Structure 1
């Protein structure tokens, strides 16, 4: 069970980093269409984070205080990479940030898939298949924005 506790805490930390990343880019794109998209994505991440916390409580898994703090710091450090790529509106930094989001959501999807394959659905009363489908929908939505951002950044159209 210790490995499961660690696994769940890793994903909880990932959600903390994801929220920080979304908040940062929401501020940069405030008042633009992307901010509305990011706001909706933030709500999805928060809802999934709540489900993960409910699972952890149901299993008696204690939340790590260190891992979320580490994720917070890592997100702050990642901003330097995005800034080098240009975190100006329409810059390549947005493409990298959206790619990071896709990778994180893919990890979340794989978490739900792994949990669905276990005996936890009976214990936790959570529909892990539905959670996996939610993650797939999130990936599709972020990927649409990533392709738009890539097109804008690589063609020089910085109007977004």
Structure 2
């Protein structure tokens, strides 16, 4: 039986950051594509700004990895790009053009990615207590920024839900009935 030790393995943080860098590559591609698809719509400017912020967050992650001596792995970048491309292959009941449901699913995916990024910043914030290469105040700022991004994405997602499924704005956020969050039976 393998011996269990409480000694930290410095390679684990590197693997964790590389995994997040993979997700960040997919997130940047997705955010840019969403912004491009909506550029002529009312949400276009907000989505373009968000795509730029998400790209900047990826650059911050790369800088943090460099500061911590974690090498960038080219395969991580390529896997992230591939994941975003594969994510486009979803059933939307339309073969050659976007469905209104596409925006809902894409914004949900982006929201998940931003919340994952938020967990990354929180993890690094915890590590900053012991590692003076990490700046706690800056990580707090990144946590706040990720929360603001997630909130903005959720507002855009709710608008997309209204458009895709003809859900009146007044019913947003209500629960109950057959689809209100409780399992039947």
Shorter-normalised TM-score: what interval? 0.7 to 0.9
Does residue 130 (structure 1) correspond to residue 141 (structure 2)? The answer is yes
1:28 pairs, out of 37, 43, 46, with 37
TM-score, normalised on structure 1?
Answer: 0.88
Q: Which has the higher contact order (CA 8 A, sep 6+)?
A: 1
Report the TM-score, using the length of structure 2 for normalisation.
0.77
Please report the RMSD computed on the Cα atoms of aligned residues, expressed in angstroms.
Answer: 2.0
- Cα distance change on mapping 1:142 and 1:132 into 2, 3 Å: same
Question: Which residue is equivalent to 2:117?
Answer: 108
Structure 1, unpaired ranges of 5+: none
Cα distance in 2, alignment partners of residues 85 and 55 from structure 1: 42
How many pairs were matched up?
155
Gaps of 5+ in 2: 1-9, 169-185
Report the Cα offset of residue 85 of structure 1. 5.4
- Asked if the contact 1:85/1:93 (under 8 Å) is kept, the reply is no
* CA distance in 1: counterparts of 2:69 and 2:131, whole angstroms: 15
- Tell me the alpha carbon deviations over residues 69-125 of structure 1, each in whole angstroms, 9 at most, x when there is no partner: 0111111111111x6255636x01110100001100000101111111123662123
Deviation at 1:48, TM superposition (A): 1.1
Higher helix share: 1
Point out the structure with max Rg over C-alpha.
2
